[in-house]
Structure 1
Amino acid sequence: MGEVVNISGTTVIVQGNKIGPRAVGKIVIDKKMNEVGRVVDVFGPVDAPYAKIVLFSKETPFRDSAVYLR
């Protein structure tokens, strides 16, 4: 999906290259296959979109770490 570029509370912004409107509502996982949150919005330019993710818990992924769509 992409890399974490911003963390604010239980909201994370991810910049990716293959994020489209169909990603909204999908579960996001980390590299250990743990479910970390859900995509609630996709925005920005088509060639480098951003996704807003609401986390399931207060444990957040590290900035610049990769996350993936389930």
Structure 2
Amino acid sequence: MTQLGELSDADLQERARAWRRLALQGVLHARGYAHEHETELRRRNRGPMPLSDRLGTPLATSPALRRWWRFWQG
């Protein structure tokens, strides 16, 4: 079987569609194969993620949490 890394984006997308179609028809392992192809497509098309996005918002800049039992006060 051809390695996923050797396929072009268009081929990967077409194969993912074909496997997804087979999965909807009830073919046993087709869902897993479709998922592998779709995961490879997402991995290729994802741009580099900035460090701030990976770490989330710093605690100092996040809004203060309001206590649920004090909802009637500011």
State the TM-score, normalizing by the size of structure 2. 0.20
Greater fraction strand:
1
Instruction: Considering Cα pairs closer than 8 Å and 6+ residues apart, tell me whether 1 or 2 has the greater RCO.
Output: 1
State the TM-score, normalizing by the size of structure 1. 0.20
Larger Rg: 2
